[in-house]
């Protein structure tokens, strides 16, 4: 894959409490740019999930194999519209109980979703448990987000680490200080009739099933 540009760009860093942080991030995303920001685990790098060229820029910047799907972060259930085929009562029940938090849901994707984001019939979505990230997502809309590092490198837990990995390859880093570090979210596949746990995490299958026993 060819990089989008042979020349390194200037990567701007803004503190998350800077009044221009979220407006600048929103403008960058909407013009096809890449931003990095703190989440409830590590720093993520993100693009507009409906912009194939921007998504390809993430793969190029991270030197990431493009057969890997990118998950999407959201700030509300309403943001699932356009990303997934439908939001049924099962999804609502689980989301209301465990979001925001360490739970990624695999759902059937909407036809609008580019194959660059996910080559599969499904899409992974999560609502992060950090006030700033939720405020950012409220303004930008859903963001295709993955770790803000070169693939295989150490997980970035501060803005300096992001700059070391992706400086000159992305437009903007939002500096929120150190993050807690990597915590693998539970990945639950809800694309079929049965709930399947694809990756064990803090939320168990029993936790999910208990919701329906109570309902």
Confidence of residue 121 (pLDDT cuts 50, 70, 90): very high
pLDDT value for 215: 57
Domains and CATH numbers, the chain: 12-214 (3.90.870.10)
What is the reported pLDDT for 87?
94
| Mean pLDDT of all residues in 133-161 | 96
Q: What is the pTM of this model?
A: 0.94
The one-character DSSP state at 103 is: E
Going from the C-alpha of 141 to that of each of 39, 46, 138, 169, 198, the distances in angstroms are 15, 11, 6, 22, 26
- The tokens for 95 are 């989301």
Average pLDDT over residues 53-77: 92
The token duo for 130 is 């950090």
pLDDT score for 2: 39
- Report d(CA 94, CA 215) in Å as an integer: 11
- 149 or 3: whose pLDDT is higher? 149
Checking if the pLDDT of 1 tops 90, the result is no
């Amino acid at each position: 894959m060819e990089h989008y540009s042979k020349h390194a760009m200037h990567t701007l860093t803004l503190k998350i409490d800077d009044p221009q942080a979220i407006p600048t991030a929103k403008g960058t995303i909407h013009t096809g740019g890449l931003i990095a920001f703190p989440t409830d685990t590590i720093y993520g790098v993100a693009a507009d999930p409906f912009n194939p060229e921007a998504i390809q820029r993430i793969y190029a910047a991270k030197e990431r194999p493009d057969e890997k799907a990118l998950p999407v972060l959201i700030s509300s259930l309403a943001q699932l519209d356009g990303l997934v085929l439908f939001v049924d009562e099962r999804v609502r029940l689980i989301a209301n109980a465990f979001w925001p938090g360490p739970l990624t849901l695999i759902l059937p994707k909407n036809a609008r979703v580019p194959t660059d984001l996910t080559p599969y019939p499904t899409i992974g979505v999560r609502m992060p448990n950090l006030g700033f990230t939720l405020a950012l997502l409220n303004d930008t809309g859903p963001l295709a987000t993955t770790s803000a590092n070169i693939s295989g490198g150490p997980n970035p837990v501060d803005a300096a680490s992001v700059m070391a990995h992706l400086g000159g390859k992305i437009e903007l880093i939002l500096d929120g200080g150190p993050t807690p570090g990597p915590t693998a979210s539970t990945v639950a596949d809800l694309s079929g009739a049965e709930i399947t746990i694809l990756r064990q995490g803090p939320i168990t299958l029993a936790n999910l099933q208990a919701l329906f026993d109570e309902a």
